[in-house]
């Protein structure tokens, strides 16, 4: 009996020893079924084994996405405590009951506020002054009850202040329903519009709204509709229909409220239609006909229009024209074109004109007095910052409101007296905890590109950090559509920076950071410059001891996902890990499919692959098509099932194919939000969980 007991203890000890010393079985990723699909164009045949993943109605597709989510959860389970810590840190910096800076319009002060623990904003106003009783326009937390996703697209108040028209997306696919709320009775009623684009604008009669409607299949911007809010049958009427699939479309009105505008635009050309807002039964007329490579924006001022245009001016110039004769032959020049200054926007006042300009990659605010042309600039102190025209709804004021931020300065709103040149801070984002801007340093660097251009970089790190090449660094880029990557404060990033990370923004070509030529040199048949610039920035940061390949990480989303996807095909050894958010990676297949939302409107950006020259060029960098058998860095790929801008199957297919070809022992993870679209979770606090996962992914990879 005694010997049997000793034997049992011996065997238990042996079992325990092997269970402790034998590694646990490594979690295995889902294996996607391979079904051959031949894609033939211009005599070229591409084989896509994961083409079948396009069908969101196919249960096998949903099962695969769920399996990927479970795999990620398993692989990242050991970071759950870190994720919670990161979430708590980021949440702890947020003043949860914060309100926005109030702005004045038509007799009321408007603002948004949050309540403690609230995911969504509450839209409010007060009559005359901020001491007046609060009136809640939209209580979004209550409205969102029962929905997994809820977002207000846009809203507009009727000129008599009695009604609000607003748009709601409950899927995340930019398919909005329009509602009308009586602000005196609080009665809310839906309209006929269920595939609205998100814009809505009142005419001056207080009973007519105009809005854009999408094609329910392609989600193409298709028609402008007029709706009479008195509620008669057949109140909805098609007012304009756009046949050219190259254009996005939207409706708005001029700042003074005198004109309604319909804008058709692509990245290379546009056209605007105008109609007096007090004549909603009238017909819109063309301000200036669309022309190839011609862009313009307008604003009305006392019987004339100001026009910002690239007509004979690559970086744009300012023109003016009589309201009754708007064609370009009647335009006269106010501000000429400048080679070193990009004219980005304007805000018109009764006595002043404000121009937003960009010089050496940074924005400037130019104040011009209307009666005599006297002008000056608002000065800014930091080496790298972002300033911008904020909400300026009133014409008859000498106060200009602008926003200001940097990588170390929280978002701040200033009121600037255009006569006295005095400015006052009226609001600043509250950052709770022990955050002190003096603990951090921002620098502006320039990396030499392989063709001789100087690529700006903005970096931030803790002031006591010593760049020795051993620092982890997260490099961010975008580089498409002319969108400039401006340095803005992000309180979430403190959680990385305080753990020794350097954060770097690469101002690569494809944006307009250094002027319109910067954009032209990173689009269409110049697109590869975008990827080369990003790689050259990485090599510069390594060469100058800011980081090393074992500590360098990169991130990009949407077209920025295309960027990092192309880069890791070209230079995978440079990066330890990549975060690719809703990445546009299946470029050729998507741009050949006109049934996919937005495809034809993107030809001005990427080219039309039905033309062989563009097909061949796209194919040369398309991340999905250029995957080869090599070692890839660790990847965290995010997606949204209802994404209308990058269809969910692109990151899904990319994940499956990368795993098939990857020769390195690295993690390739996919997480799909099954209840959201391009922007991820709609709630401000739930969104932090997604950020916490991404940060935990990066921190877990640091050796």
Contact 154, 198 (CB under 8 A): yes
How many whole angstroms separate alpha carbon 393 and alpha carbon 398?
12
* Per-residue confidence band for 25, with pLDDT thresholds at 50, 70 and 90: low
In this structure, what token pair is assigned to residue 484?
Answer: 């400039």
The strands making up 362-369's β-sheet, listed across from edge to edge, are 341-348, 352-359, 362-369, 375-377
pLDDT of residue 12: 29
Arithmetic mean of pLDDT, 295-321: 97
Q: Quick one: pLDDT at residue 243?
A: 80
Out of 558, 622, 639, 644, the active site residue is 558
Residue 214 is predicted with a pLDDT of 86
Tokens of residue 250, six digits: 């939207």
**Least trusted range by pLDDT, from 368-382, 532-546, 587-601:** 587-601
Q: What is the pLDDT of residues 392-438, one digit of tens each?
A: 999 999 999 999 999 999 999 999 999 999 999 999 999 999 999 99
Give 413's strand partners. Answer: 403, 427
Cα 186–chain centre separation: 33
At residue 688, what are phi and psi to the nearest 5 degrees?
Answer: -65, -30
pLDDT at 675: 83
Alpha-carbon distance of 490 to 442, in angstroms, equals 13
Backbone angles phi, psi at 113, to 5 degrees: -145, 160
Q: What is the pTM of this model?
A: 0.92
Average the pLDDT over each of 106-115, 224-233, 384-393 and give the range with the smallest value.
Answer: 224-233
* Residue 33 C-alpha from the chain's centroid: 33
Residues 106, 395: Cα–Cα separation, whole Å? 10
Model confidence pLDDT, tens digit, residues 61-74: 999 999 999 999 99
The label of the residue with tokens 């404000």 reads: 354
Tens of pLDDT, residues 505-523: 999 999 999 999 999 999 9
Residue 539 reports pLDDT greater than 80: yes
- Among 86, 94, 146, 131, which Cα is nearest to 115's? 94
Q: Is 678 a catalytic residue?
A: yes
Q: What pLDDT, on a 0 to 100 scale, did the predictor assign at position 191?
A: 82
Q: Note the pLDDT tens digit of each residue in 102-157.
A: 999 999 999 999 999 998 999 999 999 999 999 999 999 999 999 988 999 999 99
| 550 pLDDT above the threshold of 60 | yes
What are the tens digits of pLDDT across the range 264-276? Answer: 988 889 999 999 9
Q: Which tokens go with 207?
A: 């009973």
pLDDT band of 6, cuts 50, 70, 90:
very low
- Please determine, for residue 14, whether its predicted confidence score (pLDDT) is greater than 50: no
- When comparing pLDDT for 382 and 594, which is higher? 382
Whole-number mean pLDDT of the chain? Answer: 92
98 has a pLDDT exceeding 50: yes
Output the CA–CA distances (angstroms, integers) from residue 692 to 67, 80, 87, in the order listed: 21, 10, 5
β 502-506/473-476 pair status: parallel
* Residue extent(s) of CATH 3.40.50.1820 domains in the chain: 38-91+434-700
From the list 536, 642, 678, 682, the catalytic residue is 678
24 Cβ neighbours under 8 A, 6+ residues apart:
none
Supply the pLDDT for residue 236.
60
CB–CB of 213/195 below 8 Å?
Answer: yes
Confirm whether 176 is a catalytic residue: no
Tallying the residues shown for the chain, one arrives at 703
pLDDT in tens, 561-574: 999 999 999 999 99
Cα 463 to Cα 467: distance, rounded to the nearest angstrom: 11
Confidence of residue 444 (pLDDT cuts 50, 70, 90): very high
Identify whether the C-beta of residue 554 lies closer than 8 Å to the C-beta of residue 477: yes
Taking each helix axis from N to C end, the angle separating 612-621 and 528-543, rounded to the nearest 10 degrees, works out to 20
Q: What is the pLDDT of residue 2?
A: 35
> SS3 of 78, please?
helix
What confidence tens digit (pLDDT) does each residue in 638-690 have?
Answer: 999 987 788 899 999 999 999 999 999 999 999 999 887 777 777 788 899 99
Which of 16-25, 52-61, 220-229, 529-538 has the largest mean confidence?
529-538
Decide if 63 contacts 647 (C-beta within 8 A): no
pLDDT value of residue 267: 84
The tally of CA atoms less than 13 A away on the side-chain side of residue 73 is 9
Strand partners, 42: none
**Cβ atoms within 10 A of the Cβ of 15, count?**
10
Q: Indicate which residue of 300, 507, 643, 644 is catalytic.
A: 643
| pLDDT tens-place string over residues 608-634 | 999 999 999 999 999 999 999 999 999
Q: Which superfamily, per CATH, for 38-91+434-700? A: Alpha/Beta hydrolase fold, catalytic domain (3.40.50.1820)
Domain at 147-294: CATH code: 2.130.10.120
**What torsion, rounded to 10 degrees, do the Cα atoms 371, 376, 378, 384 define?**
130
568/158 Cα distance (integer angstroms): 51
Q: What is the mean pLDDT of residues 262-290?
A: 94
Q: How many CB atoms lie within 10 A of CB 12?
A: 10
Using a pLDDT cut of 70, give the percent of the chain over it. 95
CA–CA distance, 663 with 660 (Å, rounded to integer): 9
Q: Is the dihedral of CA 554, 558, 559, 562 positive or negative?
A: positive
- DSSP-derived pairing of the beta strands 577-581 and 634-640: parallel
Give start-end residues of each CATH 2.130.10.120 domain in the chain: 147-294
Q: Is the pLDDT of residue 229 over 90?
A: no
Average pLDDT over residues 455-483: 94
What's the pLDDT at 703? 67
């Amino acid at each position: 009996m005694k010997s049997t007991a000793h034997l049992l203890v011996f065997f238990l000890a042996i079992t325990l020893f092997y269970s402790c010393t034998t590694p646990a079985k490594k979690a295995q990723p889902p294996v996607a079924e391979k079904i051959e699909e031949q894609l033939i164009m211009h005599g070229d045949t591409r084989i896509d084994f994961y083409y079948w993943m396009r069908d969101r109605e196919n249960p096998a597709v949903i099962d695969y996405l769920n399996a990927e989510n479970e795999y990620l959860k398993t692989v990242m389970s050991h970071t759950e405590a870190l994720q919670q810590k990161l979430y708590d840190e980021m949440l702890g910096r947020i003043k949860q009951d914060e309100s926005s800076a109030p702005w004045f319009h038509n007799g009321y002060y408007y603002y948004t506020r949050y309540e403690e623990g609230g995911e969504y904003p509450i839209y409010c106003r007060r009559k005359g002054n901020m001491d007046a009783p609060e009136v809640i326009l939209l209580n979004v937390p209550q409205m969102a009850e029962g929905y997994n996703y809820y977002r207000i697209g846009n809203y507009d108040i009727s000129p008599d202040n009695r009604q609000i028209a607003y748009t709601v997306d409950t899927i995340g696919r930019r398919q909005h329903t329009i509602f009308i709320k009586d602000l005196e009775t609080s009665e809310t009623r839906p309209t006929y519009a269920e595939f609205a684009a998100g814009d809505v604008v009142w005419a001056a009669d207080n009973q007519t709204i105009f809005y854009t409607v999408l094609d329910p299949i392609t989600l193409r911007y298709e028609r402008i509709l007029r709706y009479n809010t008195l509620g008669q049958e057949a109140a909805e009427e098609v007012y304009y229909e756009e046949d050219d699939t190259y254009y996005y479309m939207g409706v708005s009105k001029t700042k003074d409220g005198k004109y309604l505008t319909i804008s058709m635009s692509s990245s290379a050309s546009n056209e605007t239609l105008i109609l007096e807002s007090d004549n909603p039964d009238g017909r819109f007329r063309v301000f200036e006909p669309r022309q190839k490579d011609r862009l313009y924006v307008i604003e009305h001022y006392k019987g004339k229009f100001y026009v910002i245009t690239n007509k004979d001016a690559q970086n744009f110039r300012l023109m003016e024209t009589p309201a009754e004769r708007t064609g370009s032959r009647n335009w006269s020049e106010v501000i000429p074109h400048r080679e070193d200054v990009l004219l980005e926007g304007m805000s018109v006042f009764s006595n002043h004109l404000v121009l937003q300009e960009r010089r050496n990659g940074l924005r400037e605010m130019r104040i011009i007095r209307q009666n005599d042309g006297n002008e000056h600039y608002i000065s800014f102190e930091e080496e790298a910052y972002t300033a911008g025209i904020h909400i300026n709804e009133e014409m008859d004021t000498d106060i200009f409101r602008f926003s200001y931020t940097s990588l170390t300065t929280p978002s701040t709103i200033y009121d600037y007296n255009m006569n006295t040149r005095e400015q006052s801070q009226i609001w600043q984002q509250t950052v709770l905890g022990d955050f002190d801007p003096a603990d951090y340093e921002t620098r502006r660097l320039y990396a030499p590109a392989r063709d001789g251009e100087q690529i700006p970089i903005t970096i931030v790190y803790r002031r006591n950090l010593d760049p020795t090449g051993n620092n982890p660094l997260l490099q961010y880029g975008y580089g498409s559509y002319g969108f400039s990557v401006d340095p803005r404060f992000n309180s979430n990033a403190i959680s990385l920076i305080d753990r020794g990370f350097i954060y770097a923004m690469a101002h690569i070509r494809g944006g307009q950071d250094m002027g319109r030529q910067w954009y032209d040199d990173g689009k269409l048949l110049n697109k590869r410059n975008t990827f080369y610039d990003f790689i050259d920035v990485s090599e510069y940061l390594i060469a100058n001891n800011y980081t090393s390949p074992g500590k360098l990480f990169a991130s990009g989303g949407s077209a920025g996902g295309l960027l990092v996807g192309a880069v890791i095909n070209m230079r995978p050894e440079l990066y330890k890990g990549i975060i690719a958010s809703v990445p546009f990676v299946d470029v050729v297949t998507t741009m050949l499919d006109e049934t996919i939302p937005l495809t034809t409107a993107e030809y001005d950006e990427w080219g039309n692959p039905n033309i062989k020259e563009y097909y061949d060029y796209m194919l040369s960098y398309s991340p999905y098509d250029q995957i080869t058998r090599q070692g890839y860095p660790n990847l965290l790929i995010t997606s949204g099932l209802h994404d209308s801008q990058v269809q969910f199957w692109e990151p899904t297919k990319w994940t499956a194919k990368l795993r098939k070809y990857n020769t390195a022992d690295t993690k390739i993870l996919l997480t799909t939000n099954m209840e959201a679209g391009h922007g991820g979770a709609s709630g401000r606090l739930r969104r932090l969980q997604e950020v916490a996962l991404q940060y935990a992914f990066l921190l877990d990879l640091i050796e």
